Every structure is written in C-alpha cells, then in structure tokens.
Structure 1
Amino acid sequence: MNFYATLLIALKALRVNLLRSALTMLGIIIGVAAVIIMIAVGSGAQEKVESQIKSLGANLLIVFSASTSHGGARSAAGATHTISEDDAYAIARELPDYLVGAAPALRGSGQIVAGNSNWSSTFYGITPDYFEVRAWTLADGRYFDPAEINGAAKVAIIGQTVATSLFGDESPIDQVIRIRNVPLTVIGVLASKGQSLSGNDQDDVVLMPISTARNRVLGATVLAKSRSVGSISIKARDGVDLKIAEEKIRDLLRQRHRLQPGQDDDFNLRNLTEILQAREDSSRVMAMLLAAVASVSLLVGGIGIMNIMLVSVTERTREIGLRRAVGAKSGDILRQFLIEAITLSLIGGLIGVLLGSLGAELIGELAGWPIRLSPFATALAVSFAAGIGIFFGYYPARQAARLSPIEALRHE
C-alpha cells in the first residue's frame, strides 16, 4: 500500500473520532502556545537590554562622586563632590591608549518653560566629548561649537520628550526655553533613546554647555562655586580590557586625590556595560528556563497522544485484523498509526503557534513589554511537536503492527 493511501486511511480514522482527536491535541496546543509565548517574551526582554546597551554607548565606564547616589541624582548644596572637570581632563590626557574620551557632567533638575507650556525635566551641563562617549546623536539642529562651550552661551539641545511636551508638532529649533529663569535658545534635538537601565526616560533631558550650567543656571550652589562635577562618563577603546581600564582610572584618581594605601576611594567607578551584559545573560538564561518549563506541557501532550493511540489500537483490533487478512502488511499498519499520531501533533502544533503568537501580542499590549516573535523559534516548536508525535506514537503503532491477524479477528 502506498503512502498516499495510508495517509487517507489515517485521516479518515481521525475524522471518525473528531472529539477525541481534538482533546488529544489539546496538550500539544497548550504546550506549543506556552513555548511560543515564553520565547517571545524572553527574547523581547533580551532585545530591550540590548537596546539599552546600545543607547548607553559601548565600553562605558562612569565615575560618580562618592557623595552622589546612582546617576548623580543627589546634588544637595551641603554635599561634598569629590571629582572635578580637571579629573576628567587628566583621565583623557594620561590614558589615551585605553580611552576614547572622558566627559564631565553637571546635573540639575527643574521646570522647563516655553511660552505658556512648562515641563519638569533633568538638565546636564556637558562638554563636546559627552556626545561621543554617551552615543548621543541629533535628530535635528546642530551640536555646540567651541565658542559656546567656553563662553557659557545661552544655548541648549533638548530630548524628544521635552521637545514634544513643550512644542508638540512645532519645530523647537531657534525657540527659547527658560530654566530657572535663564533663557536658552534651542539649537538641536536629540535622537530618541528610550528607557535607561533604571527605567528612566532618556529622552526627557536638556543638555547645555558645562560653563552655562555652572555660571548661569546652577547659581550659588556648591557645584557652581567650584570645578566639581557630579559624574565623568568614560568610553574605553574597542578591544581594551575594561578591567584594566578600570584599574588605570582608579589608580590615577587615587593619585590625584592623594589617597593613602588602605584608604577608601572617595569616588565610585562603575562599568555600566558589564552590568547590562550581565542582565542580558540573565534574560537569555531566563528565556531558556521558561521555554524548558513550557516544554513540559509538550511532553504531557505527547504522553496523552500515546495513551489515546493505545486505546485506539485496542478498540480497532478487529479493523486491524481485517486489513491484515485482505493483504495489508505490518508496515502499512505501523505507518497508519504513526501518521495519525504525527498528524495530531502537527495540527496541534500549528494551532498552538497561532494561539501562542496572539497570546504573546496580547501580553505585550497589556503589560507594555517588548515582544519578539522568532521564525526560528516557531519552526522549532512545530518540529518539536512533530517529534513528540513520532516518539510517543511509535510504541502504539508498533503494538498495532505486531498484532496477529488471527488473534485480531477473534477479538470482541
């Protein structure tokens, strides 16, 4: 008997017991759908971390004053700021073989006013190196020129969130904003970056020359009265061991700050790229674990197929005997029952892919999570479902094929 005829007989047998076939597929459907959802959510989380790494800039190290919290968020008037612009320039000057640049930054926050609109945001006083070190690019306008940096010019570059909140669809270029009653002309708009590692909106920012922030905006604060800064962003060269770069920077700063052996650092040095890559690895492992857990449902579905097929063999013993009596070979019987098992698994797998894709999109929409549906993962899930059908369907198929025609015909 050829394969096509065997396939038709197998499909007809499945149609006769349609409800049983549907219930048998349920385990496979749930298993495949769960695998698709877990992989989509896990891959989306991994993609989000990858985008955060790119948004920070490659090989990024950041030095914080010991008195500031993460990100330099705390800049109280009475705080002691232990790093300075001169530290940043010394790092760039003394370690050119290890670093692309070192960019000091002053940080503050307040109401940004434009006409009748206002928006609460964060502002940074920066040097030109900040754009390259932190991987900032412009969507519109231009960068600061040297004269503006050195002359405390009243100019600013704003993020996408600030631009939209203050100006809507209108171009912000050449518009005037006010920060702490200081008028600043907008000369550029930053390209969007999205959320940071801590979940903050990186596009909700205003950049200005560091001299402008120090001399005009911050006023009579500690940061304005000295050359202290809240943070120094440092970009290591490609191929440089970041651990070695960290040691070089730490040794240089300890020497400049005249710290004795055994004395604690008066600054914090963090490798943000390493932190993000560790999170990416964790996301990848979590996605694999979730997929493995979901795969248990597939195994349960496979066991269900085996049980139902064994019951089917028992119920159809006389049918098997009749087919053997009229010339069907044991191989034909084996193929028929194996095709039935594989068909159940494949149909269940395809339905599971559809439901899993819809479920993943729904979860992403409701929870606001990034979702990435991988064609490879989809093909893998369907192939795994087919493999489950072959593995768990073979034993019942073999049992059917080994039935004696005479004994089968005697079966009541």
Structure 2
Amino acid sequence: MLQGVGDTFGQVFRAIWANKLRSFLTMFGIAWGVGSMLLLIGVGEGFRSGQRRSLATLGNDLIMMWGGTIPAVPNQHTGMRPYNLTLADAEAIRNEAPEVRDATAFISRNDIKQQSQYESAGGQVIGAEPNYSSVRFLPLRQGRFLSAADMSGRNRVVVLGEKSAKLLFPGRPALGETVLLNGADFQVIGVADKTGRGNNDNENQKIYIPLSTMLEMFPVKGENIPADSVTSIQYQPRVRGENAEAKRQVHEIIARRHNFDPDVEDAFNEWDTIKTEEMVGKIWTAMDVFLGGVGIVTLALGAVGIINIMLVSVSERTSEIGLRKALGATRRNIMTQFFLEGLLLTGVSGLAGIAGAAGLMSALQAAMGNNMQGFDPPHMAPWSVVLALGALSMSGMAAGVYPAGKAADLDPVEALRRE
C-alpha cells in the first residue's frame, strides 16, 4: 500500500525516539566533530585576518630597509663595516628602479623632548618626506600632511599622532598651536587619526616634521656618517606579485652606491611585509586543510557509527519489517523510511554542530571585541560551512542507503519466521 509523506516521517521519528539514548550519543559525536572543526577553522581565519589587518596598518605592499653591515673582505665575516642609508639612496631608488612604485626615506629619533604650553610627551619624532603618508598608512583627522613646500623651505611644522595630540593638548584643539621640540617652535598643521587596535599606541605617539628640517636640526648621530643619513628607506613594488624583482633592483642600487656585492644577502637589513603576509597565509591554509581533513574523517567515523546503529535497528525490527511487507508495504516504502532515519540523524546533528559553533563564535566576538593587536575574533568562514554541509550530505547518504537496502531486501516470510 502507498504511504503518505506524513506517515513516513511519523514512523521515522517514532523509530528514533524509541532509541533515544543511542540516537543522542551518535548525534552528539557528529555535532561535536562538526562544531570543533568549524571553531578551529574560525580561530585560524581570525588570526589570518588579524595579521593581514595589522600589516595593513603599516602600509600596503611595503618593504622596509635599514642600514646594514658588510664584510671588509668579500665572503668573510670578519671586520664587518657598517653603512648608513641616505636621502640620496632613496632618490636613486625612485629614479633607477622601474619595478618600484614609490619609496620614502625618514629619520626616527626617540630622544627629542616634546612640550606644549600645557603638557610634555614622549614618543618618536619622524623626519619624513611628503610622500610618507602615501607609502605608509597615515590617515589624517584634521589639517594636512607635510608638503613639498615644507620640505624645500625647511619649515618648522609638525603633524601630531592621535595620542600625542591628546597628551600635548589634553581636552583642547591642537591645530594651529605650537609645540617645542628641544626648545624650538613648531606649528601644528595636522593631527593624524587613530591607527591600530588595543593598547598599542606606538604609531599614535609619533609626530612628523619635514625631513629637510630634521636633517638640519636633528640629524642622525654618529661618527663618519653621511650628512644626509636616514634611519630607513621604505618602498612599494610596482606590482604586488613582483616584489622579488623590485627587491633585486633596490639591492643592486644600494650595493653599487655603498661599494659591495649585491649577492651578499646578509648585507641587507630589511623586512618584506608582502612575504610575511604570504607566509602567514600559507601556514594557515595548511592548517585549514589539515583541520578540514580531520573534520571529514570525524564525520566519516560518525557516519560509520550511524550505519552501525541503523543495522542494529534493522535487526531489532525484523518482524516489524516482515509484517509491513506482508501487509503491502513496498521495497521503496521500507527503503525510504530507513534512508530518512539515517539522513535525519546525520543532518540534525550536523546542523546542531554548525549552530553551536556559530553561537560560540558570536559570543567570543562580543566578549573580545576588536581590541587585540594582530588577532581578529574567530569568525565563521563560508567555505568551511560549505565543506561541512557537503561532508554531512555524503555521510548522511552513506549512513542511510546501506542499512535501508538491507531492510528493503528482507523477505517477509523469513522475517516473520525469525520472530
């Protein structure tokens, strides 16, 4: 006889409810496996996006270079001699390296006293070129950044970081006011917006003056160093994926200007943020693959468990199956019921695991906020949900088809005789 959809699902739920504890334990195992996989992948994605955002606060596609040391005798590590980067080096990079989009030089000092008529403050004083704000990430909240006219005129103007403005002018507007740097007057022409997250205020406590003014009043200290020495040169490749070629060109220019072999890698003191971001991405991609594989294996084991309890259920309900077949139930009716039981056990437990992981990640996001430097709260990666649903579908079909086939193949006479 033909059964309605409601009758079929009613029988499915009654069969599951008749073995509540067994069904619950099996479903809990699958839900735990799915939830754990999604949560671990979510933590990894939070770390990945946090590192990407942290690097973006420095600047996009940035390679940083500082002065280094080179051997006095080639291929030997004795008698190392230092060299300082210069403003002329930065000009050479801009003019002679076609794979470099832009480069900026600056001087950084921590020993310059900063004082307003209200308070004093500490932090780095940066002697910067006008293009600093385009190479590095430096959004402005008020006023303007340094200009070419400030650079050529050696103007005594200053741009304050967000934290420095608060320290020097507590509760007062800073724009247009005067700041003393080692007793010299500098007019505030701009205030930067807050960058970064959490309590890391190093970037926000920097202040910026023209590099030409810095070279004149507060040059790099040391003996036998060029007059236009700078702390660092930072540049961007013309194309993000061609950073290796940009670095090669820069190495050749610096090596030629400072008389050493560009193939001596130890002579260059640099940090390629592009390479760092790619390396972090590869590490967490490998972790995602591993965790995804573990999750699929967990689901497969859960599917095996469901197949086992469904086979036990078929064995326990042999007489029921025989009686229903004797009364007119078709092979399709029997197979549909047992298939739906396996699919329902797998699907409900998997969706419960997804919902549990999503709820826990939402709670963590609310508790943590966005204040941790270099780490975002865990978040559900869409691809991981698709992976979980796909694996659940396959597991559910595997858990339903085989036991359903065993039940449907039972001969009604033999089934009734066994009882």
TM tier relative to shorter chain: 0.7 to 0.9
Distance (whole Å) between structure 2 residues aligned to residue 340 and residue 262 of structure 1: 67
State the match for 1:385 in structure 2. Answer: 392
Shift of 1:389: 1.5
**Does structure 2 conserve the Cα–Cα contact (< 8 Å) formed by 1:338 and 1:393?**
yes
Deviates more, 1:342-351 or 1:200-209: 200-209
Corresponding residue to 1:55 among 49, 57, 62: 57
State the match for 1:302 in structure 2. Answer: 303
Shift of 1:216: 3.5
Shift of 1:352: 0.7
Distance (whole Å) between structure 1 residues aligned to residue 59 and residue 277 of structure 2: 11
**Does structure 2 conserve the Cα–Cα contact (< 8 Å) formed by 1:138 and 1:188?**
yes
State the match for 2:73 in structure 1. Answer: none
**Does structure 1 conserve the Cα–Cα contact (< 8 Å) formed by 2:120 and 2:168?**
yes
Could you say if the C-alpha distance between residues 244 and 299 of structure 1 is closer, same or farther in structure 2, counting changes exceeding 3 Å?
same
Deviates more, 1:351-360 or 1:119-128: 119-128
Distance (whole Å) between structure 1 residues aligned to residue 169 and residue 297 of structure 2: 53
Distance (whole Å) between structure 2 residues aligned to residue 103 and residue 261 of structure 1: 21
State the match for 1:24 in structure 2. Answer: 26
Could you say if the C-alpha distance between residues 410 and 290 of structure 1 is closer, same or farther in structure 2, counting changes exceeding 3 Å?
same
State the match for 2:409 in structure 1. Answer: 402
State the match for 2:418 in structure 1. Answer: 411
Distance (whole Å) between structure 2 residues aligned to residue 64 and residue 48 of structure 1: 26
Shift of 1:37: 0.6
Distance (whole Å) between structure 2 residues aligned to residue 164 and residue 366 of structure 1: 26
TM-score by length of 1: 0.84
Distance (whole Å) between structure 1 residues aligned to residue 69 and residue 236 of structure 2: 23
State the match for 1:154 in structure 2. Answer: 156
**Does structure 2 conserve the Cα–Cα contact (< 8 Å) formed by 1:30 and 1:298?**
no
Distance (whole Å) between structure 1 residues aligned to residue 337 and residue 298 of structure 2: 26
**SS, match of residue 123 in structure 2:** strand
**Does structure 1 conserve the Cα–Cα contact (< 8 Å) formed by 2:107 and 2:220?**
no
1:286-297 equivalences under 5 Å are: 286-297=287-298
Shift of 1:6: 1.8
Could you say if the C-alpha distance between residues 339 and 261 of structure 1 is closer, same or farther in structure 2, counting changes exceeding 3 Å?
closer
Q: Which amino acid aligns with 2:147?
A: D
Corresponding residue to 1:140 among 142, 156, 161: 142
**SS, match of residue 228 in structure 1:** coil
State the match for 1:91 in structure 2. Answer: 93
Could you say if the C-alpha distance between residues 218 and 46 of structure 1 is closer, same or farther in structure 2, counting changes exceeding 3 Å?
same
Distance (whole Å) between structure 1 residues aligned to residue 317 and residue 82 of structure 2: 86
**Does structure 2 conserve the Cα–Cα contact (< 8 Å) formed by 1:30 and 1:297?**
no
Shift of 1:231: 0.9
C-alpha distance after superposition, 1:302-327 (max 9, x if no partner):
22212221221122111111111111
State the match for 1:351 in structure 2. Answer: 352
**Does structure 2 conserve the Cα–Cα contact (< 8 Å) formed by 1:49 and 1:280?**
no
Q: State yes or no: 1:360 paired with 2:356.
A: no
Could you say if the C-alpha distance between residues 12 and 116 of structure 1 is closer, same or farther in structure 2, counting changes exceeding 3 Å?
farther
Corresponding residue to 1:38 among 37, 40, 59: 40
Distance (whole Å) between structure 2 residues aligned to residue 264 and residue 373 of structure 1: 41
**Does structure 1 conserve the Cα–Cα contact (< 8 Å) formed by 2:86 and 2:226?**
no
**Does structure 2 conserve the Cα–Cα contact (< 8 Å) formed by 1:83 and 1:230?**
yes
Q: State yes or no: 1:374 paired with 2:376.
A: no
State the match for 2:189 in structure 1. Answer: 187
**Does structure 2 conserve the Cα–Cα contact (< 8 Å) formed by 1:27 and 1:304?**
no
Shift of 1:213: 3.1
1:243-254 equivalences under 5 Å are: 243-254=244-255
Deviates more, 1:295-304 or 1:172-181: 172-181
Q: Number of aligned pairs? A: 399
**Does structure 2 conserve the Cα–Cα contact (< 8 Å) formed by 1:36 and 1:360?**
no
Distance (whole Å) between structure 2 residues aligned to residue 324 and residue 168 of structure 1: 86
Could you say if the C-alpha distance between residues 240 and 5 of structure 1 is closer, same or farther in structure 2, counting changes exceeding 3 Å?
closer
**Does structure 1 conserve the Cα–Cα contact (< 8 Å) formed by 2:220 and 2:229?**
no
**Does structure 2 conserve the Cα–Cα contact (< 8 Å) formed by 1:25 and 1:345?**
yes
Distance (whole Å) between structure 2 residues aligned to residue 167 and residue 18 of structure 1: 68
1:323-334 equivalences under 5 Å are: 323-334=324-335
Deviates more, 1:225-234 or 1:378-387: 378-387
**SS, match of residue 174 in structure 1:** coil
Deviates more, 1:251-260 or 1:367-376: 367-376
Distance (whole Å) between structure 1 residues aligned to residue 351 and residue 261 of structure 2: 67
Structure 2 stretches lacking a partner, 5+ long:
71-80
**SS, match of residue 229 in structure 1:** coil
Deviates more, 1:389-398 or 1:347-356: 389-398
Distance (whole Å) between structure 1 residues aligned to residue 413 and residue 263 of structure 2: 91
C-alpha distance after superposition, 1:156-190 (max 9, x if no partner):
32334444566677654334455555554433233
Q: Which amino acid aligns with 2:322?
A: G
Q: Which amino acid aligns with 2:22?
A: R
Q: What is the root-mean-square deviation in Å for CA atoms of aligned residues?
A: 3.3
Distance (whole Å) between structure 1 residues aligned to residue 189 and residue 384 of structure 2: 46
Distance (whole Å) between structure 2 residues aligned to residue 32 and residue 207 of structure 1: 51
TM-score by length of 2: 0.82
Distance (whole Å) between structure 1 residues aligned to residue 346 and residue 192 of structure 2: 51
**Does structure 1 conserve the Cα–Cα contact (< 8 Å) formed by 2:90 and 2:105?**
yes
Could you say if the C-alpha distance between residues 195 and 291 of structure 1 is closer, same or farther in structure 2, counting changes exceeding 3 Å?
farther
Q: Which amino acid aligns with 2:333?
A: D
Shift of 1:10: 0.8
**Does structure 1 conserve the Cα–Cα contact (< 8 Å) formed by 2:115 and 2:179?**
yes
State the match for 1:75 in structure 2. Answer: none
**Does structure 1 conserve the Cα–Cα contact (< 8 Å) formed by 2:123 and 2:202?**
no
Distance (whole Å) between structure 2 residues aligned to residue 261 and residue 310 of structure 1: 71
Shift of 1:87: 0.8
Deviates more, 1:375-384 or 1:37-46: 375-384
C-alpha distance after superposition, 1:186-242 (max 9, x if no partner):
33233444279xx98544432222233334456866699821111101122237833
Deviates more, 1:305-314 or 1:372-381: 372-381
State the match for 2:314 in structure 1. Answer: 313
**Does structure 2 conserve the Cα–Cα contact (< 8 Å) formed by 1:38 and 1:294?**
no
